[in-house]
Amino acid sequence: MTHNMSVDICGVKLKNPVMTASGTFGSGAEFSEFFDLNRLGAVVTKGVASVPWAGNPVPRICETPSGMLNAIGLQNPGFEVFAHRDLKFLSETLLPDADPAGSGLEDIAYADAGNAAEAGANAAAGNPANGGIGTKVVVNVCGHSEEEYIDCVEKLAQEPRADLLEINISCPNVREGGIAFGTDPKGVERITAAIRKAARQPVIMKLSPNVTSIAEIARAAEAGGADAVSLINTLTGMKIDVERRTFALANRTGGLSGPAIHPVAVRMVYECAHAVRIPVIGMGGIQTAEDALEMILAGACAVSVGTASFHDQTAVLSVIDGIADYLQRHRVPDIRDLVGCL
Amino acid sequence: MKYREKATVLSCEEIGTGIFSLRLGAEQIASSASPGQFVSVYSRDSARLLPRPISVCEADAEHGILRLVFRIAGKGTREFSRCREGDQLDLAGPLGNGFDLSVAQGKRVFVIGGGIGIPPMLGTAKCLAARGQNVTAVLGYRDERFLADEFPCRTVIATEDGSCGTRGNVLDAIREAQLDADVIFACGPTPMLRAIRQYSMDRRILCWLSMEEKMACGIGACLSCVCRSTDIDAHSQVRNKRVCTEGPVFLATEIEL
Ligand SMILES: Cc1cc2nc3c(=O)[nH]c(=O)nc-3n(C[C@H](O)[C@H](O)[C@H](O)COP(=O)(O)OP(=O)(O)OC[C@H]3O[C@@H](n4cnc5c(N)ncnc54)[C@H](O)[C@@H]3O)c2cc1C
Ligand SMILES: Cc1cc2nc3c(=O)[nH]c(=O)nc-3n(C[C@H](O)[C@H](O)[C@H](O)COP(=O)(O)O)c2cc1C
Ligand code: FES
């Protein structure tokens, strides 16, 4: 039996619903030594701002039980280098859609479960019988101010390789440029509207879990015109080194990610999926296909795999193959039949 | 080329108090690793997500054998110390740049190691000696010695408690033995590296230092492991270099310590 793995996020077709999570995958170059990026639904790049950011002092990370804290502080090389190096790499590496006009999702049937690798390769080769959807690029954007976000989004409008924008209004490690924008519904609606107006590509607002009601924030993003929301960013945490009697991170606090946060993320995806009509992209602690399917059943149209890639460079491929295998085992013809069915 | 490889434990031996020498069958990594590079070692306990970076002590390409020497520093290294022959261990590598031995061609070289920074210097010294280079190893210990007799070259020792060699640190040993060199390769604790950096700058000796920082991906993607660089780095566009990728070996003058 063939089954459909492709999904549609705000009019952009993904060959499968699995992407990388921003900040855990660079722009893909490093991971391309371990696998063919053309197997991914989308590559989500590390947050980029209009100018370079130095980030936080070290130590920037520490391990916690089944997770980690990070306070990278959105170090990034700035838009110019990102566009000329990272987007260039991605356009050279990722194959385009076989049929850019799009033949309609109905014709698409790819990924024979037992043979997902080969199916992936066929799709990558642009074989229309296998969907022929190319891997998409989601550019994650950060900024210190509304103007800085807009500046970056406007520059990205000129970049054909940026298929979707994900706006990080939820980084807990940088006061302005992250969480400051993402915790107040009115602020979220305003900045979403401003970015929506400036953007050429569909806009995904990335939400913080460090709020009383994430559903309320999701509704504010929708009211501001967001094309989709993604969640969750990391949960603010702290670790203390008892022997040295110091904070484990130079920044004192950091964002918790990894399997430890997965149940929290599933609950939040469920709440948001019930609060808004726009697509919800789920992430937070996904390590296996089962973790990803929980998110999908809770209402996520697509998922991102982050911290798991630090433990296993090919974790994201296991998630893709595992989902295909699940569809086969449960005789589900279309992944979209599972979205939010709980 | 970097590999993800399931290595087979050939032996695991305690060579000092809490210090273990692990020999692994890891054909792909052993065949392409060079001195000063490291591997990511993954825990079998899925609650410990992050890889442990461990330097390549020696790589035998011909037989596909990799040797790691590590100190128990926490839960991950304790787990690795319990490896038995036949066990499997997940590795990624070889990672990082390593020491560029060609810069030492025809020059007098100091290979300096302090404490658990000594293992990568053993492989480095052996490779230099095999090229017929003039190498002197300078090894610093707190008290107990390990690996010292394996160095294939002139070796001077410093111990903090004076139980062997010069009482003091590696620079005290160099001064006491009135040694001189044109090139330094070093790995060890930060205070030692800082002192060597200053020493090399005062004497205008070319000096390369191997740095440590906490790592999450180990391959250059996450920006966890940066150190401060003196100039703007081409990759980051700020004064940060990735220890896992631009390093762990840096020219002493290109970083701040
Ligand atoms: C490039 C490089 C090469 C190294 N080579 C060696 C070696 O050859 N032999 C050796 O004994 N040690 C080496 N270390 C140090 C070694 O990585 C740590 O001792 C080890 O990670 C500790 O893990 P743990 O689980 O036992 O300790 P825990 O304290 O339980 O570890 C918790 C977390 O902190 C990280 N961590 C703790 N200490 C360090 C450290 N010093 N550097 C980086 N991360 C750390 C661990 O990887 C883990 O993610 C090296 C470090 C680096 C960066
Ligand atoms: C080291 C690291 C860096 C991150 N950097 C970013 C970033 O630049 N922008 C962003 O929106 N999210 C960033 N995140 C958050 C992740 O994209 C993701 O939302 C979060 O880690 C939860 O997913 P996970 O548990 O699968 O990692 C980062 C996470 C980690 C661990
Ligand atoms: S550990 Fe991820 S960049 Fe060095």
Where exactly are the structural domains of chain B? 3-95, 101-254
Ligand 3 site, residue B215, Cβ cutoff 6 A: yes
Establish whether the linkage from the previous residue to B94 is cis, with ω within 30° of 0.
Answer: yes
Residue A296 has pLDDT above 80, yes or no: yes
Helix axis angle, A214-223 relative to A262-275, nearest 10°? Answer: 40
Instruction: Tell me the per-residue pLDDT of A127-154, one tens digit each, with 9 for 90 and over.
Output: 333 469 999 999 999 999 999 999 999 9
Fold assignment, B101-254: Rossmann fold (3.40.50)
Kindly give the distance from the C-alpha atom of residue A163 to the centroid of ligand 1, in angstroms, as a whole number. Answer: 39
- List per-residue pLDDT tens for chain B, 257 residues long: 999 999 999 999 999 999 999 999 999 999 999 999 999 999 999 999 999 999 999 999 999 999 999 999 999 999 999 999 999 999 999 999 999 999 999 999 999 999 999 999 999 999 999 999 999 999 999 999 999 999 999 999 999 999 999 999 999 999 999 999 999 999 999 999 999 999 999 999 999 999 999 999 999 999 999 999 999 999 999 999 999 999 999 999 999 99
Residue to mutate, A45, A257, A318, ligand 2, most ligand atoms under 8 Å from C-beta? A257
Which of A129-138, A275-284, A320-329 shows the lowest per-residue confidence on average (mean pLDDT)?
Answer: A129-138
- A262/B contact by beta carbon, under 8 A: no
Output Rg (C-alpha) for chain A, integer angstroms. 19
Q: Identify the pLDDT of residue B108.
A: 97
Q: Whose CA is nearest to atom 12 of ligand 2?
A: A22
Residue B53: what residue type?
P
Question: Going from the N-terminus, what domains does chain A have, and what CATH number goes with each?
Answer: 2-338 (3.20.20.70)
Structure tokens given for A86: 């990272």
Which of A13-22, A112-121, A187-196, A286-295 shows the lowest per-residue confidence on average (mean pLDDT)?
Answer: A112-121
Active-site choice (A142, A171, A272, A301): A171
Q: The domain B3-95 is classified under which CATH number: 2.40.30.10, 3.60.21.10, 2.40.50.100, 3.90.660.10? A: 2.40.30.10
Distance in angstroms (rounded) separating the CA atoms of residues B45 and A221: 39
Ligand 1 site, residue A241, Cβ cutoff 6 A: no
A171 belongs to the catalytic site: yes
Instruction: Tell me the per-residue pLDDT of A230-256, one tens digit each, with 9 for 90 and over.
Output: 999 999 999 999 999 999 999 999 999
- Which contacts qualify for B146-152: CB closer than 8 Å, 24 or more apart? B146/B15, B146/B16, B146/B19, B146/B69, B146/B118, B147/B15, B147/B69, B147/B118, B147/B119, B147/B122, B150/B122, B151/B111, B151/B122, B151/B125, B151/B126, B152/B125, B152/B126
Distance in angstroms (rounded) separating the CA atoms of residues B102 and B16: 33
User: What rounded mean pLDDT belongs to chain B?
Assistant: 97
Instruction: Tell me the per-residue pLDDT of B101-129, one tens digit each, with 9 for 90 and over.
Output: 999 999 999 999 999 999 999 999 999 99
Q: Check B221 against A75: CB less than 8 A apart.
A: no
Q: Whose CA is nearest to atom 26 of ligand 1?
A: B74
Closest CB to B49: pick one of A25, A58, A67.
A67
Q: Are A131 and A173 in contact (CB under 8 A)?
A: no
Q: Identify the pLDDT of residue A100.
A: 54
Q: Identify the pLDDT of residue A182.
A: 86
ipTM score of the complex?
0.96
Which run of H or of E encompasses B168?
A: none
Q: Identify the pLDDT of residue A107.
A: 38
Q: Identify the pLDDT of residue A174.
A: 66
Residue B257: what residue type?
L
Q: Are A221 and A211 in contact (CB under 8 A)?
A: no
Residue A177 has pLDDT above 60, yes or no: no
pLDDT grade for A170, boundaries at 50, 70 and 90: confident
Q: Identify the pLDDT of residue A98.
A: 87
Most A CBs within 10 A among B32, B223, B235, hence the mutation to make, goes to B223
| Largest separation between any pair of C-alpha atoms in chain A | 62
Q: Are B169 and B160 in contact (CB under 8 A)?
A: yes
Instruction: Tell me the per-residue pLDDT of A76-131, one tens digit each, with 9 for 90 and over.
Output: 999 999 999 999 999 999 999 986 544 434 333 443 433 444 444 444 444 333 46
3-state secondary structure chain A: CCCECCEEECCEEECCCEEECCCCCCCCCCHHHCCCHHHCCEEECCCECCCCECCCCCCCEEEECCEEEECCCCCECCHHHHHHHHHHHHHHHCCCCCCCCCCCHHHCCCCCHHHHHHHHHHHHCCCHHHCCCCCEEEEEECCCCHHHHHHHHHHHCCCCCCCEEEEECCCCCCHHHHHHHHCCHHHHHHHHHHHHHHCCCCEEEECCCCCCCHHHHHHHHHHCCCCEEEECCCEEEECEECCCCEECCCCCEEEEECHHHHHHHHHHHHHHHHHCCCCEEEECCCCCHHHHHHHHHHCCCEEEECCHHHHCCCHHHHHHHHHHHHHHHCCCCEHHHCCCCC
Chain A CB contacts of B79 under 8 Å are none
Instruction: Tell me the per-residue pLDDT of A23-72, one tens digit each, with 9 for 90 and over.
Output: 999 999 999 999 999 999 999 999 999 999 999 999 999 999 999 999 99
Q: Identify the pLDDT of residue A127.
A: 38
Instruction: Tell me the per-residue pLDDT of B209-233, one tens digit each, with 9 for 90 and over.
Output: 999 999 999 999 999 999 999 999 9
pTM summary value: 0.94
Ligand 1 site, residue B38, Cβ cutoff 6 A: yes
Distance in angstroms (rounded) separating the CA atoms of residues B200 and B95: 26
Per-residue DSSP letter, B142: S
Which ligand 3 atom lies nearest to the CA of residue B215? 1
User: What rounded mean pLDDT belongs to chain A?
Assistant: 91
Most B CBs within 10 A among A291, A311, A316, hence the mutation to make, goes to A311
